[in-house]
Structure 1
Amino acid sequence: MELLWAVIMRYDTRLGKYGGKPRPGGLRATLCISSQVGCKMGCKFCATGSMGFKSNLSSGEIVEQLVHASTFAQIRNVVFMEVGEPLNNYSAVVESIRIMTGSPFQLSLKRITVSMVGIIHSINKLHNDVPGLNLAVSLHAPAQDLCCQIMPAARAFPLEKLMDSLQEYQRKRKLLETFEVVVNLIPFNSIGTLSQFKSTSEQKVSKFQKILRGAYKIRTTVRKQMGEDISGPCGQLEVNLPDKSLGNANPLTDIEDLVI
């Protein structure tokens, strides 16, 4: 069994307003799960990338995160957004999604999202393998040159080709509709001395959100930051594997040891 890391995020959707009106709904829980141990992408703003790549998780190890999380909360949504790049472990991720949508979990594909950096050839396969799956793309910069500076892997996945791939993915899902997206702004989470970056102020985030909404009519939300005190949010997840030479008799080896 590989070392796993999953995070449960609890929300009350009644808090705040949507379209100037109280939001419907109530308490809900979203599970962010890992697909790999470590990551190959090497993004300069992400502590996970500093681990390097260790191994892929099997479909069983991915689903196990949902099994254990379900003992703590009723999971409404699942997001592949923790350790690893899901599309670099394509077969296991697809198989785990098929398991999650079957018995006993019975999750709707509308409640499952795969967040990735834009591995184009895998995006092109997803519609046939799991039609109706939600995709979230991590866009770190609006220009290819800047993307390559902060995320070296972007050289293999040019923004123009990525946008074309996403257009085609949506066309297959919604034949007569135009390209529709929701932009979720995620403020940078500090990773200490590992990075030269710092978080944007709330004022600048709010200003950027208003530009996207007002000038471009793009549905835009701002990610609520949770878990920073325990290094749990996006970009902060890093697993320090035990040093066997130190004779550690109780290394962390399973998700029960990592529940947040």
Structure 2
Amino acid sequence: MALRSVFDASVLRTEFENAGINPQFIPLIWKNVLQNPNCKWDEIPSLPAAAYPLLNSKFLPLSSTLHSVSHSTDAVTSKLLIKLKNGAFVEAVIMRYDSRLGQYGGKQRPGGLRSTLCVSSQGMGEPLNNYSALVEAIRAMTSAPFHLSPRKITVSTVGIVHAINKLHNDLPNLNLAVSLHAPVQDIRCQIMPAARAFPLEKLMAALHLYQKNSQQKIFIEYIMLDGVNDNELQAHQLGKLLETLEVVVNLIPFNPVGSTSQFKTSSETKVKKFQRILRETYNIRTTVRKEMGQDINGACGQLVVTEQDRLLAERKGLITDIEDLHL
């Protein structure tokens, strides 16, 4: 049997329970591995005697390795290429910034130095299509020894309606971000073909129910594409679509990947006008995402596995969705 990662929580818990070992020792094991990734199981103190042979025979401290790190010239963005046990690669982006910079409502912004880790849950994939693993991973993150607050975690989705309907019950207090990208269904499907499976009216009903149950604001991601979804009419359509929800709209300058992209970035003038309509006409809090890490293909969410694989996929016509190109 192939050795599994000790951070595979469900497998580890099942093995412990089958062996009569209390799962309460799992956080202690994780804490020791985090402090010493190269540790030997016998070096971890205070475990039941039966735990040591089980760990030695079935688990590795780490099953993935850091393949490479790229640092942006902006000095605040880094991209990690992580090699999994099966040879596949996934990427993560770390963004560091001072949230006190600038003003909001005429006052100094609160906050301080912070970092955001953007993780692709399947290489390039939809996290809510990997629902059970996503829930388990977040439950681990919010438990000992990590103790992350759910309010510091955001799950970004294209809008998998049936999963959104379960999310609050399974993961309360989590932040939800929805990649909307258009205020009407036909344009949304043009930008993001995966949206065909989830009509906009059903998605909006799911978001209203989610907000009613969670009492939390929802983040709306909106990529600005020149001549596609960035005119004044579409700004008004978006405002009317969202005005009965408590949302924060994040306007995202599009970062083209490769020369074959059919989409172009909206001008700064169009982005500002779009933002002004949402703010002033519909009183919707609207931000424009700062572009970070473009020189390392590391703008938030732009998690392509390798340049070679991406180009091959483009030549074969495999990249057809804006979510594969950018988010």
Q: TM-score, with normalisation over the residues of structure 2?
A: 0.57
Return the offset for 1:181: 0.5
- Paired residue for 2:200, among 145, 154, 159? 159
1:191: how far off?
1.1
CA distance in structure 2 between the partners assigned to 1:170 and 1:184 by the alignment:
18
In the alignment, the residues of structure 2 paired with residue 242 and residue 190 of structure 1 have an alpha-carbon distance, to the nearest angstrom, of 16
Long gaps (5+) in structure 1: 38-82, 244-260
Q: Give the whole-Å Cα distance in 2 for the aligned partners of 1:237 and 1:135.
A: 19
Q: How large is the RMSD of aligned CA atoms in angstroms? A: 1.8
Q: What residue number does 1:250 align with?
A: none
1:179 deviates by 2.6
2:182 is equivalent to residue 141 of structure 1 = yes
Q: Counterpart of 1:4 in 2: which secondary structure? A: strand
TM-score, normalising length: structure 1: 0.72
For residues 234 and 27 of structure 1, what CA distance do their matches in structure 2 show?
18
Match of 2:128 in 1: 87
TM-superposed deviation, 1:9: 0.7
- TM-fit CA distance, 1:5: 0.7
Counting only pairs closer than 5 Å after superposition, residues 115-130 of structure 1 correspond to structure 2 as 115-130=156-171
Does residue 21 of structure 1 match 2:70? no
Code of the residue aligned with 1:195 in structure 2: it is S
Following superposition, the deviation at residue 196 of structure 1 comes to 1.2
Question: 1:200 and 1:10 mapped to 2: Cα distance?
Answer: 26
Counterpart CA distance in 1 for 2:300 and 2:308 is 23
Amino acid at match of 1:24: P
Q: Contact (CA 8 Å) 2:254, 2:264: kept in 1 or not? A: yes
CA distance in 2, matches of 1:162, 1:93: 20
Map residues 59-98 of structure 1 onto 2, 5 A cutoff.
Answer: 83-98=124-139
Alpha-carbon distance in structure 2 between the residues aligned to 1:188 and 1:92: 30
What is the match of residue 210 of structure 1?
276
Number of the residue aligned with 2:27: none
Measure, in 1, the Cα distance between the counterparts of 2:261 and 2:118. 23
How far is the alpha carbon of 1:201 from its aligned partner?
1.3
Shift of 1:150: 1.9
Residue correspondence of structure 1 range 96-115 to structure 2 within 5 A? 96-115=137-156
Question: Shift of the alpha carbon at 1:241?
Answer: 8.4
Alignment partners' CA distance in 1, 2:246 and 2:254: 25
Unaligned runs of 5+ residues in structure 2 are 1-84, 217-243, 310-327
Q: Sequence identity of aligned pairs in percent?
A: 70
Point out 4+ residue stretches in structure 1 off by more than 2 angstroms.
Answer: 234-237, 240-243
Structure 2: distance between partners of 1:242 and 1:197: 21
Cα displacement (A) at 1:242: 7.9
Per-residue Cα deviation, 1:44-83 (whole angstroms, up to 9, x for no partner): xxxxxxxxxxxxxxxxxxxxxxxxxxxxxxxxxxxxxxx3
State the match for 2:213 in structure 1: 172
Greater relative contact order (Cα < 8 A, sep 6+): 1
Q: How many residues align?
A: 196
Instruction: Kindly name which structure, 1 or 2, has the bigger radius of gyration based on alpha carbons.
Output: 2
Q: Which moved more, 1:155-164 or 1:185-194?
A: 185-194
Q: What do residues 132-160 of structure 1 show as CA deviations (whole Å, max 9, x unaligned)?
A: 21100001111101111121111110111
Distance of 1:159 and 1:194 partners within structure 2:
28
CA distance in 2, matches of 1:182, 1:91: 27
Residue among 299, 305, 320 paired with 1:233: 299
SS of the residue 2:96 aligns to: strand
Deviations 1:99-158 (A, max 9, x none): 110111111111110001000001011111111211000011111011111211111101
Tell me the amino acid that sits aligned with residue 249 of structure 2: V
State the secondary structure of the residue aligned to 2:273: helix
What is the one-letter code of the residue matched to 1:101?
T
TM-superposed CA distance for 1:194, in Å, is 3.0
CA distance in 2, matches of 1:235, 1:192: 16
Alignment-mate amino acid for residue 98 of structure 2:
D
Bigger CA drift: 99-108 or 227-236?
Answer: 227-236
* Counterpart contact for 1:189–1:234, Cα < 8 Å: no
Cα separation, 2, equivalents of 1:25 and 1:236: 26
